[in-house]
Structures are given as structure tokens and as C-alpha cells.
Amino acid sequence: MAKNPTEPSSATVYAQELPGFREVGLSRGEIEHFKTNGFIVKKGLLDSSELGRIVECAWEAAEDLGFPFDRNDPSTYTLPKDHGLFPDTEPKHIYNDGAGIANYFGGSNSGWTWRHYVPCTEDWLLERTARHPNMQSVVSQFLGNNVRPSKRCRGLYLLLPKPGDGDSVGKLSGHTDGTASQLNCMIYAADCPPSGGGFTLWPGSHRRCYYHMETEYNWEPKVGYKEMLSEIQASVTPVEIAGEAGDCCFWHPRSLHSAGVNTSSHLRVVVPCDFQKDKPTEPWPPYSGFSKRTAPGAGKSLLPEDSGKEDGLRMQWWIDTREFVEPDSPPREDMWEDWAI
């Protein structure tokens, strides 16, 4: 994965209300917007009252971890390490028979990221998120009816507030994900105001990134990919998606994107989901930075138990999608040929 920290967020808050934005059905305007920009926002697609239980998991975990959070006092939602509480977690890529790790802290926003993975394979959570009928309806309008059943979502992606004080202000961290996902969705489980760390995306980047790959879905960037990402960041203004609990941002997985910078007083709780068609796939999650075809050439161990070890390939156990087994073809002339839109 190519990463490139940029200056403090200069993103524009997305404010467009496309025809159909409050409906389950995709409108022509939404399809056009998705094709051109790589994303759309469906407001209120999921029931915010059903998502409350997911947010509750974060507060309960904070208590279990001994964080000094008082829900009614946002000034206490500080980085645990400021209280000498920064918890030790296993390296993020430890496979643990597919269960991964319980929590991950840190990330590109200098420690303001908390990923809580515990409930993300549980039926009650999936029924409120990736498997929700409204979600499945939108996904099948994009991809067709043959969608791979969801077994997990990525996690509760939490961003703790980070006051914007001079040099320590958070930065965007533009990157693309090394997955074979065909459609992604960021579910807002809690309200996320502007500057609340909303998911941020460089409009139109999905097209350039799609054509800068050797393969349509698996992760095989062509020479110059990193430089191209830098060029996009230098020339395109990113959009930040603020939203309310229940809003869903659908996005093309080749898009250049970043977590936003949270200078609000809210805890940001987003649940990312990955979707793909139900075609034969590899059994294991994708490695980061390599496709399975290119991984052997890296001279590293491909065993899941070596994931996260020094020199091992890092397995992205938190991703539900898998690389396709059938030979992955080059990007198509019409990049929407394999879609239902």
C-alpha cells in the first residue's frame, strides 16, 4: 500500500444531495456521480437506533481497557497514552487463526486511531450492517445479485478527537487499499460532524488508480503508482464525508482515501465493509502490498502463522474479501463492464 501523509486537512466537506439520496434505490444521478467521482452517500440507509448497540461496544471496551472516558465529557476522550494507559496490542497483522487481534491503536494520525475488532464477525452486528436488507439491496444494484455473503466487516474504526493545536494537528494519510474488493461502504454508526474525522476521498482517483494496475481486482500496481498518488494529492481537493448515524458512503475500492482528522468533540465510529461477487476466491485474506501471484517472488513466508512476523508477508485478516482465483485480467476498457450499473 502506498502512503503519503499530506498537510493538515484541506478537504471540502461534501454537501451534495443527489436525487434519491434518502432512498434505497439508486438514481441515475447517483450512478453517474459514482462513476465520475468514485462515491455516493445514502443518508439514513440504516436505522440509527439499531446502530446504537455497536457504538455501545466501544464504550464498554473503553471501560474494560481502563480508559478514563466519561461519555458526557468529550475532554476525557483523550489518547490513552496521555494517561499512561496506552495499551499494548499484538502487531496488527497477527493472524490468530483468522480471529486477528481485539484492538489496534495508533495509525497515521499519530495514535488517535482505535480499531475495535471484537464484535465484527458476530451475526447481530452483521445483520445491522453488511447483511442489512437495505445494504444488500444497494450492493446488488451496483454488483448484481451474485454477491458473496458477508462474513465480517472490518471493525469499529474509531477516531478519538484531536484538538487542532499548531504542529500537532492531524494530517490526512492518503492511500489505496490492497484488497480485491469490488465495492466498499463506510457505515456511520454515530454522528460525525464536519471536521469530525469523516471518511475522506479524492474524487475521480478511482479511475486513474484502476488503470494504473496490472490486474483488474488483485493488488498489482504498475511502476509509478506511488508517484501518481502523490500527483493526485497535489492536484485534487479531497472531500470529507460528514454524516449522521445510519448514513452510508459507498465507494470504489481503487479510490485514494484517508481517515479524516477529528478536531470535533465527537468519538468517530465508522464500520467499513467490503463486498465482491461470489466467484471462486483464495481461502485466505489478502496480503498487504502483494497479490498472491506476486507474493512468492518476495521470498517471504506465505504461511498465515508467519503473518506479522518480521520479514513475513502481512495478512489482512480484517478484510472480508478475497483475491479471485481465476487469472485476474488487465483493467477493462470499460471499467464498469463487470458491474450492474
> Under the rule (CB under 6 A), what is the footprint of ligand AKG?
157, 177, 199, 257, 259, 270, 272
At its nearest, how many Å lie between Fe ion and the CB of residue 166?
A: 27
* 207 to 43, 288, 335: CA distances (angstroms): 25, 21, 8
Q: Would you say 177 or 247 has its CB closer to ligand AKG?
A: 177
Q: Would you say 274 or 328 has its CB closer to ligand AKG?
A: 274
At its nearest, how many Å lie between ligand AKG and the CB of residue 1?
A: 8
Q: Please state, in angstroms and rounded to a whole number, the distance separating the CA atoms of residues 331 and 336.
A: 10
At its nearest, how many Å lie between ligand AKG and the CB of residue 337?
A: 26
Which partner in ligand AKG, Fe ion, none is near 259 (CB below 5 to 8 A by kind)?
ligand AKG
Which partner in Fe ion, ligand AKG, none is near 67 (CB below 5 to 8 A by kind)?
none
Which partner in ligand AKG, Fe ion, none is near 199 (CB below 5 to 8 A by kind)?
ligand AKG
Q: Would you say 267 or 319 has its CB closer to Fe ion?
A: 319
Q: Would you say 257 or 266 has its CB closer to ligand AKG?
A: 257
At its nearest, how many Å lie between Fe ion and the CB of residue 280?
A: 25
Q: Would you say 113 or 195 has its CB closer to Fe ion?
A: 113
Q: Would you say 157 or 202 has its CB closer to ligand AKG?
A: 157
Virtual torsion, Cα 29, 36, 193, 321, nearest 10 deg:
110
At its nearest, how many Å lie between Fe ion and the CB of residue 177?
A: 4
Which partner in ligand AKG, Fe ion, none is near 317 (CB below 5 to 8 A by kind)?
none
At its nearest, how many Å lie between ligand AKG and the CB of residue 192?
A: 10
Amino acid at 181: S
Which partner in Fe ion, ligand AKG, none is near 210 (CB below 5 to 8 A by kind)?
none
Q: Would you say 141 or 290 has its CB closer to ligand AKG?
A: 290
User: Coil, strand or helix: which one is 70?
Assistant: strand
With b meaning 16 or more CB within 10 Å and e meaning fewer, what string describes 4-25?
Answer: bebeebebeebeeebebbeeee
User: Coil, strand or helix: which one is 12?
Assistant: strand
- The strands making up 268-275's β-sheet, listed across from edge to edge, are 39-42, 248-251, 183-188, 268-275, 156-159, 113-116, 103-106
The region, left, alpha or beta by phi > 0 then psi within -120 to 50, assigned to residue 111 is left
Contact 338, 332 (CB under 8 A): yes
At its nearest, how many Å lie between ligand AKG and the CB of residue 299?
A: 26
Name the grid cell of 62. Answer: 473503553
Chain residue at closest Cβ approach to ligand AKG: 259
Considering only the C-alpha atoms of the chain, give the largest distance between any 2 of them, rounded to a whole number of Å.
54
Which spans in the chain are helix H?
28-37, 48-64, 123-128, 133-143, 205-211, 225-235
> Which residues bind to Fe ion, rule: CB under 5 A?
177
